[in-house]
Amino acid sequence: MRSRTVHLWRENSVTKDDMTRYRATIEAAGKKHDLWYGCASEYAPYITSNMDPYLLASIFPAMQHGDQLVVHGPVSSRLLKNLERFQEIWAYWESDRYQKVEMWAEEELEPAPPVNDRALVSFSGGVDSCFTVHRHLEGLCGRQTEEIGAALMIHGFDIPLEMDDASSAAAESAKNLLAARGVPLLRLSFNWRQIMDGLQICWEDSHGTALIACLSLFQNGFGVGVLASSLEYDPLIPYGSSPLTDPLLSSDRFRIVHDGAHFPRLKKLPALATWPKALDHLRVCWEHPELAGNCCECEKCIRTMLGFRAVGMELPAAFPRDISDQQIRRIPLRTETAHHHFGLVRQEAIRAGMGNESWVSALTLAMERYERGETPIMALRRRLRLRTRVRSLVGASATSDEKRMGNQLARVPDRD
């Protein structure tokens, strides 16, 4: 019988050509997996020796594939306590997929103060992370303002590990953008997503823990990790990064801040107007990581581009071409989260008096198709069936005039 105990071991780090891999072994679902974080060796003074980052990366495999999680090494006692509540939330949200597991560590570390008050912010170059960096640098958060010490860009999530050139291009753009604001960019490679895909761990559920695991790795150099919000406080839905669960991935030594959930995404766009360089360097596309910029065709690109329309802003240079109503009608909506985001765009457009514009009608049709469970391929097949049916109805028994009318009808595009 396959063991239901998930084990986690720290392995020796490996350094080659001024790059170091910090490694651990996860044993889950009867197999061992080599988990690693790779970064420049010059970052070594920032890297923690405890097991917190590896535990964070392992919690979803444990909840999905295990009855208990055994950590062979030192772990923050506060993190273990917080993870119990974190697991309770996910077991409640997705009881058919996750369960709360017992956690055991060879050593539970006593509470320790953070090394400093400097914050390391997760940075992708998208709207959310640019907004978070901007508002903290400008002191727009009142007493909640964090001292941004550096930004962290992670290779291996939206850009696959094998795409070094695309990752380097994205990092160079982000580095130049942040340098003008006095914020250094740290780069990290992480093979977590490859392992999680093999274990069939849902990305939408687990990506927040992965991002925070990467931030936590640098807790010898920073006392705070900042993660930009993707969703608002309302509605609070099961999602991998939320204001409810992210702070529960903190320890006494490393505090996690979930930032900006009180700002709807569409309000972040006008707020970034005072940082025009950020708008011109936005990188939101993840479906076409081989491109240096945005494809202007995928769901995330279209959603962002329509957001600019809805708030009455010009499309920035980061999006080299606009989109048609036909593209909007065929948006490949696949998740409830994406549907929610497009709903906010449509709502804002109607509020701004754009409800009768053709692109809003096209967006409404795309959303209705998702609501009735119809994919773009299914919609195409339905249109073909309709046209075949029309042609059959005006078959040989029809008059010439009827045939002409039928042919004209068959050529009328379905507005779906």
pLDDT digits (tens, 9 = 90+) for 143-169: 999 999 999 999 999 899 999 999 999
Question: Residue 413 — pLDDT band, cuts 50, 70, 90?
Answer: very low
Q: Could you tell me if 73 and 32 are in contact, meaning their C-beta atoms sit under 8 angstroms apart?
A: no
Q: Inter-axis angle of helices 358-371 and 299-310, to 10 degrees?
A: 140
pLDDT recorded at residue 30? 87
Tokens in use for 396? Answer: 């040989």
Q: State pLDDT tens for residues 370-399.
A: 998 865 555 555 555 656 666 766 665 555
pLDDT band at 176 (very low <50, low <70, confident <90, very high): very high
Q: What pTM did the predictor assign? A: 0.87
Nearest of 226, 223, 251 to residue 241 by alpha carbon: 226
Residue 219: count of CB within 10 angstroms of its CB? 25
Q: In 3D, which of 172, 143, 142, 152 has the Cα closest to residue 226?
A: 152
Query: For 395, which DSSP code?
Result: S
d(CA 292, CA 186): 19
Mean of pLDDT values over 215-243: 94
Cα angle: 415, vertex 287, 128; to 5 degrees: 95
Mean per-residue pLDDT for 181-210?
96
Residues written for the chain: 416
- Neighbouring residues of 110: CB distance < 8 A, sequence distance ≥ 6: 77
Q: What is the pLDDT averaged over residues 247-273?
A: 96
State which H helix or E strand residue 280 sits in.
helix 276-280
**Helices and strands in the chain: count of H runs, count of E runs:** 14, 11
Residue 402 backbone phi and psi in degrees, to 5: -65, -40
Look at residue 408 and tell me whether its pLDDT is greater than 80. no
Domain ranges of the chain: 5-109, 118-265, 284-373, 378-411
> Region 298-304: what's the mean pLDDT?
94
* pLDDT-based confidence at residue 260 (cuts at 50, 70, 90): very high
Question: What mean pLDDT do residues 211-232 have?
Answer: 97
Best CA proximity match to 263, nearest among 128, 162, 146, 390 = 128
DSSP-derived secondary structure letter, 99: -
Rounded CA-CA distance 203/146 in Å is 28
pLDDT for 387 equals: 62
Question: Are the C-beta atoms of residues 124 and 283 closer than 8 Å to each other?
Answer: yes
pLDDT of residue 409: 43
Whole-number percent of the chain with pLDDT over 70 = 89
> pLDDT tens across 115-139, in order?
999 999 999 999 999 999 999 999 9
Q: What average pLDDT does the structure give for the chain?
A: 91
* pLDDT at 300 (0 to 100): 92
Q: What is the mean pLDDT of residues 244-260?
A: 98
CA distances from 173 to 36, 338, 386 (A): 25, 26, 48
pLDDT of residue 414: 44
Band of residue 50 on the pLDDT scale cut at 50, 70, 90: very high
**What is the number of other CB atoms lying within 10 angstroms of the CB of residue 358?**
10
Cα dist. 376→69, 288, 346 in Å? 42, 19, 20
Which residues have CB under 8 Å from 213's CB, separation 6+? Answer: 53, 54, 56, 57, 192
Q: What does the pLDDT look like over 321-373, one tens digit per residue?
A: 999 999 999 998 888 888 989 999 999 999 999 999 999 999 999 999 999 88
Q: Which CATH architecture has domain 118-265?
A: 3-Layer(aba) Sandwich (3.40)
